[in-house]
A and B are shown apart, each in its own frame.
Chain A
Amino acid sequence: MKTPNQTDTNGTRPSLTRRQMLRLLATGTATAAAGALLAACGGTAPSTPPGSAPAQTTSRPLTPTFYQWIVDLHPSIPQVNSTFEGLNFQIAPVQGFGIERFVAEAKNQESTWDVYVGMTPFVEMSQLIKADVIEPWDDYIPKDVLDDFLPPIREECTVNGKLYSWPFLLDVIGMAWNSNLTDKAGITTVPTTWDEYLANAKQVVDSGAAPYGATYDARGWRSLAPFTHSMSTDVYTSEGLFDFTSEPAVEALILMKKIKDLANPDILNEGTTDGGVNNTPDEGAFAAQQVAYYTKYFNAPLRFAQTGGFSDKLQMAGLPRFANSQGGTVFWTTGACLFKYGKNKEKAVEYMRALTYNQQIWKDSIAGSPTAHPGQLPPYKSIYAEWEANKPEWMQPFVALVREQFERARAINNHPFGLTQFVIGKPYWEEYLTGKESDPRAALQKAKDAVAAEIAKAG
């Protein structure tokens, strides 16, 4: 038998014996097992031999991660970043609202990032809480900031009395129109009811001013829910789900069909980015000046009027209402969550405070910048109060409009199915929109049943 240091007489390389090989493997396995066992018991596997000094652990810099669109629409964010030395700014792997990477890391009780800017409460907050990925801000956020949030926004971001989302960008669903086209159609009135809205849209088509009168985004949280809210905001079940079979929802669906008859033919199609969520047909039609009237969160007409080069002809107003109703709409905020297994919690608070109170961000958002015009608004009472007291020269009229709409808006309930209920239900209520089902109630019942079936699968 040869030892590893022996050389063969014929010049071949040294080799390991079976015993040595097994010993080597056993040593490696035992070391790994010991480390794993220690880690499992809550200890830390020794990384240095006993007796030697442990290595100095260096804490990482603050590491925020952003949903890509926020960075695209708010070009002043780097300005805030530059005031935080060593900040490790990253783009989040969350295409199509995907949070699987965050969940996977939390399962291992770790997080690459400290804070995620891009969470919308009704979309993914419940899931992130359930999976123990995020923790409340309450232990870290200053009381003056907490008290500064507009009450409905604070409520939207709160679960069981704890604030899980630090709101940043406020979006409200409203109405916009291209006055280029409405002028051409001879329209001089602003529609305040859905009947007027439909009449105006028809006039646009009949006059030949544009091929299509009106459009919307077919995703339920951007059309069915706000249209329903425009009749009543009391349309949620005791479990917190959207009540598809409520009378306002039925009326909203009937309205959607009427608008669809005056809209771009691809209105019901999925979007072509973000798993079908974004780059939707309504955006293209509005930007191309193919359609006059448009209902979506206000930042959409602002952005696509800029894309289409008719920002000066863009007009906006609140969402029309049904006759004999007070009118309402949907709002949501996109904010930040604090990773439970992240680091730099206090620094994250500092960063979020600097980010959300930054005047340049709000100026660019409201007045527009060379690259974008998102029109998203801040969540703070103090900022609005300040603007009211000293109106900035760049202030736009739509801000007051959005604020006024916001007072009548309601957020979609936080629920693990908050967003997906609309994804699951969409094919079924669309049977009515496409004429496959003549009864809107039957179509919405199918949607409700489909959601219930998915919830039942979860057990």
Chain B
Amino acid sequence: MATVASRVASAARAWRSTYRVSDYSNLLFLIPATVFFVGWQIYPIIRVFVLSFTDYKYLERNPPNFVGLHNYINALNDPLFHVGMLRAFVFTVVFVPLTILIPLVLAVLIDRVTNPWLSSFYRIVLLIPAVIPGPLVFVLWKWLFDFQIGPVNTILVEWLGIFTRQTAPQWLGGTPLSLPAVIIMEVWWGLGYHTMFFLAGLAAVPKDLSEQARIDGANEWQLFWRVIVPRLLPILSILVVLRFGTAMSVIDEYLIFGGFQRTSPTYTWTVYMYDLAFRIGDWLQGYAAAIGWLGAVVMMVFVVGMLYVFRSRD
């Protein structure tokens, strides 16, 4: 009498033996995902690429003309694109380290909490920002940073007396402080999410490894850099690459905190691209597409470089 296991195995063998390339019904199940992937990922990318070589103006009724590299040459000579890229880099260079290092330190500290209740409490508290919907986060931080009624300025002016009402910092509305304001909000928003990543990584670090290092005379600093960080490198690299991509292409927060003020540090290449495509004059979507592609290429170069730096050396 065949056991259940052997029956299952023989059925699997039978299924495998009858499965051939000609069994096309399997492809039916791939259609939804394929349609979505092609329709919402591949097609827009290709379409934008094609558009970038035309003079397509969205408000014009005439068909677009092929203009070759004209848009790219113009974009490379466009000071607004240059400064927009620079602003995005400034944001990225400040934001990415902060959004990685602060959660890393927090994760290491929480990982050492031995009381299970306390450990859970810390995790829950840290995760709160991550579960708040985006619009609510924006509303909350706009209120916090409000020049006249915001708690941040109230603390700085009335509690600490560092500023007067006239000299209080202006965090919102395209001022030089708009970028730090966005950075503070973004770091806070990602704090719990990133900390969880690192906590998951730390859970995979054998405890006896740390104990062994201590016995060998390693201090906490050495333990952190020589034992913990190397073990968390895969997570670190993923987060750095992911966050680099999101930081370079931020747009919503910039629009909400800085509007379309061209001198604002939040007027980056992404805002400029949107401005060109949907707001100014005839809506130069061909030109905006070229700017989008240039930005994407710049980001890809950096991402490939980072993947090379973080490549596995096992």
How distant is the Cα of A265 from the Cα of B173 in the complex, in angstroms?
A: 12
Contacting residue for A270 out of B15, B61, B259, CB 8 A:
B259
Q: Which residue of B lies closest to A284 (CB)?
A: B148
Task: Convert B5-41 into 0s and 1s, putting 1 for each residue whose CB lies closer than 8 angstroms to a CB of A.
Answer: 0000001001100100011111110000000000000
The segment from A12-20, A50-58, A154-162, A385-393 found at the interface with B is A12-20
Does B260 belong to the interface (CB within 8 Å)?
A: yes
With contacts A290-B148, A420-B281 known, is A16 near B25, CB below 8 A? yes
How distant is the Cα of A276 from the Cα of B261 in the complex, in angstroms?
A: 8
How distant is the Cα of A329 from the Cα of B146 in the complex, in angstroms?
A: 31
The segment from B88-96, B162-170, B222-230 found at the interface with A is B162-170
Provide the residues of chain A in CB contact with B284, threshold 8 Å. 457-458
Majority SS at the chain A contact face: loop
Provide the residues of chain A in CB contact with B24, threshold 8 Å. 15-18, 20-21
Q: Which residue of A lies closest to B266 (CB)?
A: A270
B292: shortest Cβ distance to chain A, in Å?
A: 16
Contacting pair A420 B279 (CB below 8 A): yes
Provide the residues of chain A in CB contact with B146, threshold 8 Å. 272, 284
Provide the residues of chain A in CB contact with B262, threshold 8 Å. 423-424, 426-427
The bracket for how many chain B residues form the interface is: 35 or more
Contacting pair A132 B61 (CB below 8 A): yes
Contacting residue for A269 out of B11, B165, B174, CB 8 A:
B174
With contacts A18-B22, A270-B264, A284-B148 known, is A130 near B166, CB below 8 A? no
Does A417 belong to the interface (CB within 8 Å)?
A: yes
B71: shortest Cβ distance to chain A, in Å?
A: 10
Contacting pair A454 B170 (CB below 8 A): no
Interface of chain A residues 248 through 307 with chain B (CB within 8 A): 264-266, 268-272, 275-277, 281, 284-285, 288, 290
Does A455 belong to the interface (CB within 8 Å)?
A: yes
Contacting pair A275 B278 (CB below 8 A): no
Provide the residues of chain A in CB contact with B198, threshold 8 Å. none
Contacting pair A276 B15 (CB below 8 A): no
Contacting pair B60 A130 (CB below 8 A): yes
Provide the residues of chain B in CB contact with A327, threshold 8 Å. none
Contacting residue for B58 out of A16, A131, A423, A426, CB 8 A:
A131
The bracket for how many chain A residues form the interface is: 35 or more
A307: shortest Cβ distance to chain B, in Å?
A: 12
How distant is the Cα of A146 from the Cα of B155 in the complex, in angstroms?
A: 57
Interface of chain B residues 235 through 287 with chain A (CB within 8 A): 255-256, 258-264, 276, 278-284, 287
With contacts A276-B173, A423-B260 known, is A266 near B18, CB below 8 A? no
With contacts A20-B24, A211-B165, A288-B148 known, is A459 near B55, CB below 8 A? yes
Provide the residues of chain B in CB contact with A132, threshold 8 Å. 61
Provide the residues of chain B in CB contact with A455, threshold 8 Å. 281
Contacting pair B22 A130 (CB below 8 A): no
With contacts A103-B58, A130-B59, A281-B147 known, is A269 near B260, CB below 8 A? no
Contacting pair A272 B167 (CB below 8 A): no
Provide the residues of chain A in CB contact with B278, threshold 8 Å. 98, 100
Contacting pair B281 A427 (CB below 8 A): no
B219: shortest Cβ distance to chain A, in Å?
A: 48
Task: Convert A15-37 into 0s and 1s, putting 1 for each residue whose CB lies closer than 8 angstroms to a CB of B.
Answer: 11110110000000000000000
Task: Convert A46-74 into 0s and 1s, putting 1 for each residue whose CB lies closer than 8 angstroms to a CB of B.
Answer: 00000000000000000000000000000
How distant is the Cα of A131 from the Cα of B278 in the complex, in angstroms?
A: 12
Does B87 belong to the interface (CB within 8 Å)?
A: no
Contacting pair A416 B281 (CB below 8 A): yes
Contacting pair A416 B59 (CB below 8 A): yes
Contacting pair B172 A272 (CB below 8 A): yes
Best-surrounded residue of A8, A264, A417, A458 (most CB of chain B within 10 A): A458
Q: Which residue of A lies closest to B264 (CB)?
A: A270
Q: Which residue of B lies closest to A265 (CB)?
A: B166
Does A127 belong to the interface (CB within 8 Å)?
A: yes
A49: shortest Cβ distance to chain B, in Å?
A: 25
B36: shortest Cβ distance to chain A, in Å?
A: 17
Provide the residues of chain A in CB contact with B25, threshold 8 Å. 13-16, 21
Contacting residue for B18 out of A1, A12, A265, CB 8 A:
A12
Provide the residues of chain B in CB contact with A127, threshold 8 Å. 59, 283
Contacting residue for B280 out of A15, A266, A271, A420, CB 8 A:
A420
Task: Convert B45-63 into 0s and 1s, putting 1 for each residue whose CB lies closer than 8 angstroms to a CB of A.
Answer: 0000000000101111100
With contacts A10-B15, A281-B173 known, is A275 near B260, CB below 8 A? yes
Contacting pair A269 B175 (CB below 8 A): yes
Does A430 belong to the interface (CB within 8 Å)?
A: yes
Provide the residues of chain B in CB contact with A12, threshold 8 Å. 14-15, 18
Provide the residues of chain A in CB contact with B147, threshold 8 Å. 265-266, 269, 281, 284
Interface of chain B residues 93 through 136 with chain A (CB within 8 A): none
Contacting pair A272 B173 (CB below 8 A): yes
B156: shortest Cβ distance to chain A, in Å?
A: 14
A280: shortest Cβ distance to chain B, in Å?
A: 8
How distant is the Cα of A323 from the Cα of B101 in the complex, in angstroms?
A: 61
Provide the residues of chain B in CB contact with A288, threshold 8 Å. 148-149
Provide the residues of chain B in CB contact with A420, threshold 8 Å. 279-281
Contacting pair B259 A276 (CB below 8 A): yes
A415: shortest Cβ distance to chain B, in Å?
A: 10
How distant is the Cα of A40 from the Cα of B148 in the complex, in angstroms?
A: 57
Provide the residues of chain A in CB contact with B194, threshold 8 Å. none
How distant is the Cα of A458 from the Cα of B283 in the complex, in angstroms?
A: 8
B170: shortest Cβ distance to chain A, in Å?
A: 5
How distant is the Cα of A100 from the Cα of B279 in the complex, in angstroms?
A: 9
Provide the residues of chain A in CB contact with B28, threshold 8 Å. 16
Q: Which residue of B lies closest to A132 (CB)?
A: B61
How distant is the Cα of A211 from the Cα of B281 in the complex, in angstroms?
A: 40
A136: shortest Cβ distance to chain B, in Å?
A: 17
Task: Convert A411-428 into 0s and 1s, putting 1 for each residue whose CB lies closer than 8 angstroms to a CB of B.
Answer: 000001100100110110
Contacting pair B172 A269 (CB below 8 A): yes
How distant is the Cα of A457 from the Cα of B170 in the complex, in angstroms?
A: 34
Q: Which residue of B lies closest to A279 (CB)?
A: B142
With contacts A21-B24, A454-B280 known, is A272 near B149, CB below 8 A? no
Interface of chain B residues 163 through 218 with chain A (CB within 8 A): 165-168, 170, 172-175
Q: Which residue of A lies closest to B19 (CB)?
A: A12
Provide the residues of chain B in CB contact with A17, threshold 8 Å. 22, 24
- Chosen A-B contacts, 12 in total, with CB atoms closer than 8 Å, are A16-B25, A20-B24, A21-B27, A100-B58, A265-B166, A266-B148, A269-B173, A271-B173, A281-B148, A284-B146, A284-B149, A457-B281
**Interface contacts beyond A127-B59, A132-B61, A270-B261: sample of 4 additional A-B pairs, CB < 8 Å, sorted by A:** A14-B25, A270-B173, A271-B259, A457-B281
A-B interface, 10 closest residue pairs, ranked by CB to CB distance from nearest = A276-B259, A269-B173, A270-B259, A427-B263, A21-B24, A10-B14, A270-B173, A15-B25, A131-B59, A266-B147
Binding site for A on B (CB under 8 A): 11, 14-15, 18, 22-28, 55, 57-61, 74, 142, 146-149, 165-168, 170, 172-175, 255-256, 258-264, 276, 278-284, 287
